[in-house]
Amino acid sequence: MTQKTVIVTGAAGGIGAATAIRAAAQGWAVAVHYRTGREDAQKVVADIVAAGGLAQAFAADMGAEEQVIDLFRAVDKAMPPLGGLVNNAARTAPRAMRLEEMDGDEINSLMRINVTGAMIAARETAARLSTEKGGPGGTIINVSSLAAIHGAPKLHVHYAASKAALDTFTHGFALEVAREGIRVMSVRPGLINTPIHARAGMADRIEKVGPRMPMGRAGTPDEVAGAIVWLLSDDASYITGTTLDVGGGA
């Protein structure tokens, strides 16, 4: 069987890196996307290659349409045929914020990456995978957040809103391409022990909130990656348009 490529955006660390490594272990060639974490992305690539897998790092700003398009063109040239996309790249607020503290630039900057960038990446993926356009079919996984449900008040309501938009997009786009051999799902992580909390100015959040979770702890990036890679696989072949919560019961 011809090896296929999965693009994992935001794969220099956290859930993205864990997904890239696990996908490679399942036989995928992996395009490891990053924006600024070049060294971290190269380490992910090195780990995959050391384990016998195929991977390459690609830089792009997911908030800039032309850079997203160029990312896909670069992957087309350098990697095996595309078979999947994991839309994981996202940003949060630089600290816990109320809406009254946010200006339009802050909101728009986040939405460009979390929503617009993800939709453009899905568009580019579908253009290559659609059986109606001669493609082989494939899978798109959008990484959402349980913040889409609880709203993240006094933390980052714009981030929560962006993830709710991603969930709605997942369902609608899945129905749009369901007869073109493309499955579209989202995975909705809860409290996961990743660097995203420190980047949002809450480095101690895992220690404070983790023990209050139903399972008594935060989740790990690899636990989320396991759900993502399963949905990418043929074992999930009759699943589309749905969201899988990976939140330990939260």
- The set of catalytic residues is 159
* Phi, then psi, of 29 in degrees rounded to 5: -80, 140
Residues 6+ apart with CB under 8 A from 80: 2, 3, 4, 5, 29, 54
Query: What CA–CA distance (Å, rounded) separates 243 from 189?
Result: 10
Query: What CA–CA distance (Å, rounded) separates 92 from 95?
Result: 8
Residues 6+ apart with CB under 8 A from 102: 93, 158
Query: What CA–CA distance (Å, rounded) separates 32 from 162?
Result: 23
| CA dihedral sign, ordered 143, 148, 150, 155 | positive
